[in-house]
Amino acid sequence: MSKELEKKVENVDLENKEKIELVKRMFAKGATDDEFAVFLELAKRYNLDPFKRQIFFLPDRRQNEPGKIMVSHAGLIHIAHSSDQWAGMKTFIISKQGEEKLIVDNPNDIAGAVCYVFRKDWKEPLIHAVSFREYFKSNNSHMGPWYTMPQTMIKKVAEAGALRRAFDLGGLYIEEEMDTSYVQYEVPEETPEELKEVEKEETKEAKKAVPSAYITRLHANIQAFSKKYNKKVENVEKYLEKKIGKELKKFSTDDIKRAIEILKSLIEKEKAREKISVEEIKPGDFEVVVEEPEEINGIEDEEIDEWVKKINETFSELDK
């Protein structure tokens, strides 16, 4: 380490000079003394830990061009959590129909993302929305997180912009927001473990969106349908799972709405069959074929109860 650099970092709150050298080798490789001094100053000012990849440096491939000091998404979250005014945030995918959803089933339906950041000293949240088209990073191999986890990536961009505005963090950008096609990747944007943690959080949010009570009610309706028309419950469940394309226990809110529509169609089919002579109906397993239901748009989660009520009323009428 040069004497000039030692003077620049002598007040940086790191344990020792050996640790500083390790940080430069691992997380700021290729940085000039000036760039590394700024890197350390930002780490100190915002209490960012390079070893947790909360801050890192990306060299530029182009000649005589400065590299980029980047913070990670986790780094911005850390800064926000450290604030006395932090009161949480909510982030949603914006579908091409203009709806705000925690997740969408079809990646092609992603129009963008919106993040709401709440502060204790604000009556209203800060709202920041971003366009997927503007930030999506395409490549010839069609590989990478923007292809495998597009919802996670665009949510991170929305959250970064919202946190930067809410906590006056101008100049701190995450890699997902920037054009980094010309930088040398010495440090991955996030470790596989960190990406798994993000996916776990997404899964938790998705589970919150579909309370288990809704699945239980759907199952109760399947049982009622099976009993009324002498069908095997497991066959009805398999039929719905085949139509929706996933296991019943993994149904999303929209999946439940579609399943209810399919059940309603099956009821109508069975009612029509009851008009046929009993001798003409051959016993057998569940073999009713129905047309694919139309997409259900504009229905909020709270309306699921109303759907279930209608189904129950239909069963009551059939039992009379």
Annotated domain spans of the chain: 46-207, 212-319
Q: Are 81 and 59 in contact (CB under 8 A)?
A: no
What tokens were used for 235?
A: 């066959």
Please state, rounded to an integer, the average pLDDT across all residues of the chain. Answer: 75
Query: What pLDDT score was predicted for residue 293?
Result: 35
Query: What pLDDT score was predicted for residue 180?
Result: 55
The angle formed by the CA atoms of residues 162, 167 and 172, to the nearest 5 degrees, is 75
What is the residue whose two structure tokens read 């039929």?
A: 239
Query: What pLDDT score was predicted for residue 223?
Result: 80
305 C-beta neighbours (distance < 10 Å), count: 12
Query: What pLDDT score was predicted for residue 165?
Result: 95
Tell me which of 169-178, 200-209, 284-293, 306-315 is least confident. Answer: 284-293
Query: What pLDDT score was predicted for residue 4?
Result: 45
- Reported as a pLDDT band with limits 50, 70 and 90, residue 179 is low
Output phi, psi for 71, to 5 deg: -105, 155
Tell me what the mean pLDDT of segment 42-52 comes to: 91
Amino acid code (one letter) for 73? H
Query: What pLDDT score was predicted for residue 104?
Result: 92
106 C-beta neighbours (distance < 10 Å), count: 8
Cα(311)–Cα(320) distance, integer angstroms: 15
Query: What pLDDT score was predicted for residue 2?
Result: 44
Cα(304)–Cα(299) distance, integer angstroms: 8
Tell me what the mean pLDDT of segment 1-25 comes to: 61
What tokens were used for 255?
A: 């999946």
Give 140's DSSP letter.
T
Structure-model confidence comparison of residues 140 and 15, the more confident one = 140
Percent of the chain with pLDDT over 70: 67
Structure-model confidence comparison of residues 32 and 64, the more confident one = 32
Q: List the beta bridge partners of residue 89.
A: 117
Query: What pLDDT score was predicted for residue 297?
Result: 37
- Reported as a pLDDT band with limits 50, 70 and 90, residue 215 is confident
